[in-house]
Structure 1
Amino acid sequence: MRDRLLRIALCCVVCLLSILGCASDLRLDHKSEAIRVPSNAPKNRIGVTLEELQQRRAASRKPERQPLPAQLKIEDQAYLCSVKPTILQDKPSQDGRSLLVIQKNFSLFVIEKQEDWSKIIVITDPDLFTSVTGWVESSSIVTKAALREKARQPMERERKKSERERAEKISLYPRQIQQLIREHKIILGMTNEQVIFSWGQPLEINRTVTNHYIYEQWVYPGRSSYKRSYLYFHNGLLNSFQD
């Protein structure tokens, strides 16, 4: 009786092992079908052809940025003046159809002006250079050129004021000194202010102060790049120079 039970158990184990072996073979066949590639195609270590791998890389790569269109100039770039939403319209009038709400991060370029309206190109995607063209009120934007001109105006006023004051001071000097300043020349006895009007600001000033005197050495560029001119002042008057 015991021998019969052992033989039955052994048969069951053998049958179970054979069933498991068949299932494993089926899974291997299925995997081999899934990764099967042409025999003549070059493969990498994961079983994908190099052509497929290159296609995947090309699809995942970001598109290259296109150059700025020829009709757009950096000087024509514009910025929003108002914090309120600015609407891009299809024509230069208040009853125009709304095309786009312009955001702060959009790049704007003015391409045409018509009375109180400006025709602009709005770059909505800086990578693809997708754009929308329409009209906005000129008061709602300012161009880069206008900003540059506005920043330059105070400096220009200051420069003109300085030139006017300089001309007024020079006019008070003797005619000989005025002529020397116009010719960018110097003579002994000139004041340090007159020398500055004639030669400009020095590269370097070395000063020695005593109880009764002030000695200064002014260094200027020489006639050649490796030489220097030295002017020596005694209490504010040019006493000697070395050229």
Structure 2
Amino acid sequence: MSGKRVERMEDIIDTIKDGDTVIVGGFGLCGIPEKAILALADKGTKDLTIVSNNCGVDDWGLGLLLANKQISKIMASYVGENKLFEQQYLNGELEVELVPQGTLAERIRAGGAGIPGFYTPTGVGTEIAKGKETKEFDGKTYLLERAIKGDVALVKAWKSDPYGNLIYNKTARNFNPLAAAAGKVTIAEVEEVVGIAELNPDHIHTPSIYVQYVFEGKNYEKRIERRTVSEKQINARSGQ
């Protein structure tokens, strides 16, 4: 182990225990910590509460944990790409808390910032508001939303130094910086670990203070969740 760098994901995935709340970065299949998810699936840790924008697809990402029935609750803003998710929910095997996407992002951010809760107009007058405290500001009704903290956060970055200063690649940044700050323990898997002082300080998205472990992954699949081909491309391929 050099700095916070570890050689095998299997050596640190034991940080996650049965019953833990795990915040997972990613949006669809973009920027997901796939090596950590694979290691967690192999480990079989169960009764997990997963906080993530969505739950992967049936055969990849967090969908692998669903297939193993390792998740007891999911807090997400979108669940439309996973038939197994639907089946487990309808069978009563999975507890689901749907959270508007902006609210989910802010709840995670608040958890990382040490803010216990905040008021938002999103969800007022809908099912989201049931059982929640409301308050009026300047004649407008707002909901009280509680912060989310994780026992562990799993994030994916593009580059890191040995001490866990992270840079994300374009849209793969998505929920990852928020997740990294909100975990009591944060495991960062990265595509490349560079030397100390090789990263421009102005380009760092997540400072090392938030990261406990760094793992350099290889051979990322980078799957496309849903491929859309235009009619023009179809005609070009067919020679029309």
Scaled by the length of structure 2, the TM-score of the pair is 0.17
Structure ranking higher in helix proportion: 1
